[in-house]
Amino acid sequence: MSHAEVASARLIHSHAARGTTTTNGHGTTSNGESTRNLHAIAMTNLLQSVDCTNAEAVREHIKNRIPALAELVTEMDDATVLEFVAQFQRIVRGELPRRPRRRIEPKARAYPENEDEDEEKEDKLDIERVAFRLDGIEMYALVVSLTAGFGFSSLEMISDEEFEHLGWPFTWIFVVTAPLTVLCGLYATIVFALCSMYAKTALGSNKDKEMGVFMNSTGIYRLRAFNHFLVSIACFAIDVLIICLAKFRTRFGFLVCVFLAYLLYDGLRDTKAILAAAGPIFAPPPPPPPPSSPLAENSDADESSRVDPHRHKQQQKSPPVFTKRSSMRVSLSGGFFRR
């Protein structure tokens, strides 16, 4: 606040303290009329015989009439004194309307704050969920990179003499599965690592919409990477079995390989069961029902009443649509691999 505004406020307050209040037609005090009358009285008493363009005369007049403002007016320069006079004149004329006071209730003020807090909690929760999903993608990349590294090192684990001892069927199986372990693992590692890296970059740059578009457009590539991930692990298990068969040339080694083959089959069966159990997690939400009219409901009721009872029994005996195989397809192509 400038010196002129401070002086104007003190001047109005001092004259208001010495003034009298007026009443309106109903006998009650009118604050607006009383304030305006006090302003007019103060203006008349203060500046009626003073040249308002002469700063020195105005300063001396204020010192004589209002001693409380003497120190403040003395510190003002000539331009500030003239500005004070102009400011006071505008206040008296009503050219500077006062802002209406608004009373803010505590409940009304606290309600938007609660909304902001809820929105912040929802945003934080969404970010945490997206981060968990991206951590899952990184876990795929970590596991498949280990299998790819082992597949590459397994190419040097069997010598030519051991290949001759194995025979051509196991030799050709190893020649096919070892490169598949490496190549499928590299493909899955690159796809999962790139998707996780770019998604986290977009999330850190506050580009949620761009991240959603990126995740939706790369869903087919993550599905292929997941299939390569399964192929790499299966080939990795077969390589371990053949290496054990090549290193253990005794009958006991053959029995160990048979036991390992059973464990491999058991692991494959459990993997299928886990994928089937995870199907409802990744299944897309059901579509909303179409809007129905009263006429359509009546027609549907008439058609349902005319249904053949034998056909109804056949429909009840039909197997459910959601089986292990279908749930595996859903888990591979939906839900997690889309945003």
The answer on 56 and 130 residing in a single domain is no
SS3 66: coil
The answer on 119 and 70 residing in a single domain is no
Domain count, the chain: 2
The answer on 240 and 173 residing in a single domain is yes
Owning domain of residue 72: 3-93
The predicted structure's pLDDT at residue 264: 84
The answer on 119 and 266 residing in a single domain is yes
Positive/negative CA dihedral, 169, 172, 176, 182: positive
| pLDDT tens-digit readout, 92-133 | 565 555 554 555 454 444 444 555 565 555 555 577 777 788
Task: Answer whether 160's CB lies under 8 Å from 130's CB.
Answer: no
Percent of the chain at pLDDT > 70 equals 55
Give yes or no for residue 187 having a pLDDT over 90. Answer: yes
Q: What is the identity of the amino acid at 289?
A: P
The answer on 160 and 24 residing in a single domain is no
Task: Answer whether 77's CB lies under 8 Å from 56's CB.
Answer: no
Positive/negative CA dihedral, 268, 269, 271, 275: positive
Instruction: Indicate the range of 216-225, 260-269, 275-284 predicted with least confidence.
Output: 275-284
The answer on 139 and 73 residing in a single domain is no
| pLDDT tens-digit readout, 135-169 | 888 888 888 888 888 888 887 777 777 777 777 88
Give yes or no for residue 314 having a pLDDT over 50. Answer: no
Give me 190's structure tokens: 């690159």
Percent of the chain at pLDDT > 90 equals 5
CA-CA distance, 13 to 42, in Å (whole number)?
Answer: 10
The answer on 264 and 127 residing in a single domain is yes
The answer on 157 and 54 residing in a single domain is no
Any domain includes 198? yes
| pLDDT tens-digit readout, 299-312 | 554 555 554 445 44
- Of the spans 50-54, 100-104, 234-238, 333-337, which averages the highest pLDDT? 234-238
Any domain includes 8? yes
**pLDDT class of 76 with cuts at 50, 70, 90:** confident
The answer on 165 and 23 residing in a single domain is no
The answer on 47 and 172 residing in a single domain is no
The answer on 157 and 11 residing in a single domain is no
Any domain includes 165? yes
